[in-house]
Structure 1
Amino acid sequence: MTDVITTPTVGGPTLPQERRLVTAIPGPRSLALHARRQAAVASGVSSTLPIQVVAAGGGVLVDVDGNSLIDLGSGIAVVNVGNADTEVAAAVAAQAAAFTHTCFMITPYEGYVAVAEHLNRLTPGDHEKRSALFNSGAEAVENAVKIARHATGRSAVVVLDHAYHGRTNLTMALTAKSMPYKAGFGPFAPEVYRVPMAYPYRWPGGPDACGPEAATQAIDHIRTEIGADNVAAILVEPIQGEGGFIVPGEGYLPALVDFCREHGILFVADEIQTGFGRTGHWFASEHEGIVPDLVTTAKGIAGGLPLAGVTGRAALMDAVHVGGLGGTYGGNPVACAAAVATIELIERDGLVERAATLGDVLRARLEALAADDPGIGDVRGRGLMQAIELVVPGSTSPDPARVRAVLAACHAAGVVTLGAGTYGNVIRFLPPLVIGEDLLHEGLTVVADALAATRP
């Protein structure tokens, strides 16, 4: 018989907002649970930090040993409103007590419609829109491709260097990085083509030339090697996520949008990691002044419950035949209740504006670190989605070993930090939008200490 390790799990905003270490990280109870995990869970499922969480709220996570860690990851940009927010939890509980599932395709319910109405209202553009709900970001991307192909009658899909769009077969094809996302899992879906991304830090012509030059190269590639008339959609993250929080060079995305309009190609914005206030706007496309034809959402939409959506121009969304979109769990009523509560909370408490304000605080700290550390090659991002890229001093050669060392030091000191980047040399910062400024500063001080301890 397996012993069950239990700990009181009072969480949400009532948790003390503090970093508190009572054992080494991970502690003995976490290590015991980790041993059970290794015996029961497939080894291909990774864990960045093998603590076992029992409560979370605001800007902290509490583990089974009683340690309280500062959360600078938000479950990868998911708990934008913080974990177990009182109003989100109450909405979930009320809906779960009423009914947990009917399948919207069989007997629909208001919650699904309410989420669709919010998405239609909040996503960029004042045109008439429709939405469809799904379970995960990858599922949303797959359905956006389905919609684009059906609406245009074309098959080719164009994506960017350094892109990440998911782990299913089609979305692996759309994703750029091989290890760990694609290695050994092929063959992949056909009719996916990759073009240059405007990566300012690494663009040969320099950051100022990056946007126009990269757009010219991408468009030339589409015209000469793919054929514009064959392309259903160009799929873009307005700020790349797993690729390293790359903000495209100025002018790049608007040039792609103009090209799409000229050739009847749909511009699809993957706002899965960038959405719901994360970057200081509701959606990162707004920073570029662009209006996508289709927008995919997930992560921050529902306070931690699995939900995703595709929102787009009404004529495109309605072009798909009845029964062509859907799924058993898509738009689950409990997840929809969480999403409505989450969206209302973001609006009522001004969390989009708060992300912009705290983003300025974060940028100032990161730039100060970079000014004193020749191994920080670039600081980039928007709002509370920012990153530093670590390189060998005096060069642009990636330094993934130092990233691993910094992350390990932060974790040992009680701060949850995440890596990213095609070359594994980026540290990304995704704190909850509700994190206290003092707690954010404390977490960044731990990061600063880790950087100082690992400086070449």
Structure 2
Amino acid sequence: MRNDHIRTELPGPKARAMIERDARVISPSYPRDYPFVMSHGRGTQVWDVDGNRFLDFAAGIAVCSTGHAHPQVVQAVKDAADQFLHISSDYWHEQMTGLGERLAKIAPMKGGEAMSFLCQSGTESVEAAIKLARYVTGRPRFIGFLGGFHGRSMGSLAFTSSKYTQQKGFFATMPGVTHVPYPNPYRPLFAGTDQGVAVLDYIRMLFERSVPAAEVAGILVEPIQGEGGYVVPPDSFLAGLRELCDEHGILLIFDEVQSGIGRSGRMFASQHWGVKPDIMTLAKGLGSGLPIGAMVASASLMSQWKRGAHGNTYGGNPLACAAANATIDLVAGGFADNAEQAGGYFTSKLRELMRDYACIGEVRGRGLMIGMELVESDPARTPARALCDAVITRAFHNGLLLLSCGTSTVRFMPPLNVERAEIDEAIALLRISLDEALAGTRG
């Protein structure tokens, strides 16, 4: 099978012209993987400026949770735009308060009641979480995890360690963050034991030898690690973190920027394990494409902030809040369930591919947050970096938009309303792309 909707060479003439214009005026710091120049999108399908049609299994880095231009989201934004575009977070309006009420109703926070601080992005939500944790505990230190990605502003960057690219050239970031391994059952760092238990023991050792637990404000962790490789931790790990935090008066902060809002098949990934955080960060899929983030915390914590302790200009923007309100309604109304069912189907199809391709070391994930790790044919399962890059590139040329994560993992994060027929098409295109990439690496 080949995608007969690829009508020009890639990039096509209009795309090349746009890329040339862009190179003269836009920062080269954006990590663009391949030359896709978008014209429009509907659901899981997108078209470039030359009329080529693609399946979007990247979804704007897990942002377009309800697909491209979902009519209910678009209408909500249009209706909000007819009223006003901005009033600033110094005042009140229905969309902002309504979103706070929705988040308070669905957020699985320790202590029950929740309050939200609204912002524009994931990194801002993490910055707010860091500030709140320091403010209410009076403690200066934090624990983060190797492989984690939490943003690029200077506070969140101090935690980010999925690759050194984001850190290089920006030392020193915020002080006080100590990194520990994230438990990876496929690539264990600790021999002969449950990786989650081993990491918890490692943190306890740090508390005894170099990091006073009484000085740690919070532990920031992704319930499912995103940029680090779509790694699902052992089942006991998050509960163990909760117990460790409670023992030492440390706040447990879940970064659900990528895994939240239905992506894992539950509204929040932490709900797979029934573990409740003190603070949670959200963004990406929350607004179906509009820039919005939220730091959600137990009301007992958030209420300690005094007037002016933290704020922003665009937080609670009415258009972004309208999109988020519509998104939550859709996700709660069936899209999270579809993510769980479609994700199970997709995972089964990917595992069928494993029988034909020895280079597929593992398929893992929850819901529609799925990783396929590619490896070399050696006993050490060496990450196949070049092959992973080649598969991503060939998939683009075959009409399938993908991104990588970790060292050599292809990640799949289509819209939560993706259909089985689209998954079947993506699997067929992926098979072609694997064959072409393998032929290229052998050659």
- Where do 5+ consecutive residues of structure 1 fail to align? 1-17
2:342 aligned with 1:368: no
**How far apart, in 1, do the equivalents of 2:325 and 2:435 lie?**
43
Q: Deviations along 1:366-394, whole A, 9 cap, x unmatched?
A: 11122322222221110000011111112
8 Å CA contact retained: 1:245, 1:380: yes
2:434 aligned with 1:444: no
User: What is the CA distance between 1:298 and its match in structure 2?
Assistant: 0.4
SS at match of 2:281: strand
2:185 aligned residue = 200
User: What is the CA distance between 1:204 and its match in structure 2?
Assistant: 4.0
8 Å CA contact retained: 1:163, 1:237: yes
Q: How does 1:133-148 map to 2 (within 5 A)?
A: 133-148=118-133
- Shift in alpha-carbon separation, 1:163–1:361, aligned structure 2, 3 A: same
1:435 aligned residue = 418
**How far apart, in 1, do the equivalents of 2:36 and 2:297 lie?**
40
2:112 aligned with 1:127: yes
1:44 aligned residue = 29
Q: Deviations along 1:384-436, whole A, 9 cap, x unmatched?
A: 00011111112221111001111111000110010111x2x110000001122
- Shift in alpha-carbon separation, 1:219–1:196, aligned structure 2, 3 A: farther
2:134 aligned with 1:149: yes
2:319 aligned with 1:334: yes
Query: What is the aligned counterpart of 2:409 among 398, 416, 426?
Result: 426
Q: How does 1:54-65 map to 2 (within 5 A)?
A: 54-65=39-50
**How far apart, in 2, do the equivalents of 1:117 and 1:206 lie?**
46
User: What is the CA distance between 1:205 and its match in structure 2?
Assistant: 4.6
Q: How does 1:66-145 map to 2 (within 5 A)?
A: 66-105=51-90, 107-125=91-109, 127-145=112-130
2:385 aligned with 1:389: no
2:291 aligned with 1:306: yes
**How far apart, in 2, do the equivalents of 1:216 and 1:245 lie?**
23
**How far apart, in 1, do the equivalents of 2:246 and 2:402 lie?**
40
Q: Deviations along 1:20-78, whole A, 9 cap, x unmatched?
A: 21112221111111111111111112322222111111111111111110000010111
8 Å CA contact retained: 2:394, 2:437: no
- Shift in alpha-carbon separation, 1:171–1:437, aligned structure 2, 3 A: same
Query: What is the aligned counterpart of 2:307 among 302, 314, 322?
Result: 322
User: What is the CA distance between 1:206 and its match in structure 2?
Assistant: 6.0
**How far apart, in 1, do the equivalents of 2:65 and 2:166 lie?**
25
Aligned residues: 435
RMSD between aligned residues: 1.5
User: What is the CA distance between 1:19 and its match in structure 2?
Assistant: 6.8
SS at match of 1:386: strand
User: What is the CA distance between 1:344 and its match in structure 2?
Assistant: 1.2
Q: How does 1:143-292 map to 2 (within 5 A)?
A: 143-205=128-190, 209-292=194-277
8 Å CA contact retained: 1:158, 1:235: yes
- Where do 5+ consecutive residues of structure 2 fail to align? none
8 Å CA contact retained: 1:200, 1:207: no
**How far apart, in 2, do the equivalents of 1:85 and 1:373 lie?**
36
**How far apart, in 2, do the equivalents of 1:224 and 1:317 lie?**
32
1:356 aligned residue = 340
TM-score (norm 2): 0.95
- Shift in alpha-carbon separation, 1:206–1:375, aligned structure 2, 3 A: farther
User: What is the CA distance between 1:325 and its match in structure 2?
Assistant: 2.0
Query: What is the aligned counterpart of 1:406 among 370, 378, 391?
Result: 391
User: What is the CA distance between 1:123 and its match in structure 2?
Assistant: 1.4
Moved over 6 A (4+): none
Letter aligned with residue 176 of structure 2: E
Q: Deviations along 1:170-224, whole A, 9 cap, x unmatched?
A: 1111101344211112211101111121111110456962221222112322342
SS at match of 1:131: strand
8 Å CA contact retained: 2:342, 2:419: no
**How far apart, in 2, do the equivalents of 1:210 and 1:93 lie?**
49
8 Å CA contact retained: 1:244, 1:387: yes
- Identity fraction in percent: 36
8 Å CA contact retained: 2:65, 2:285: yes
**How far apart, in 2, do the equivalents of 1:368 and 1:176 lie?**
32
**How far apart, in 2, do the equivalents of 1:278 and 1:223 lie?**
37
TM-score (norm 1): 0.93
User: What is the CA distance between 1:250 and its match in structure 2?
Assistant: 2.6
Greater shift in the superposed pair: 200-209 or 283-292 = 200-209
8 Å CA contact retained: 1:25, 1:414: no
Letter aligned with residue 220 of structure 1: M
8 Å CA contact retained: 2:107, 2:114: no
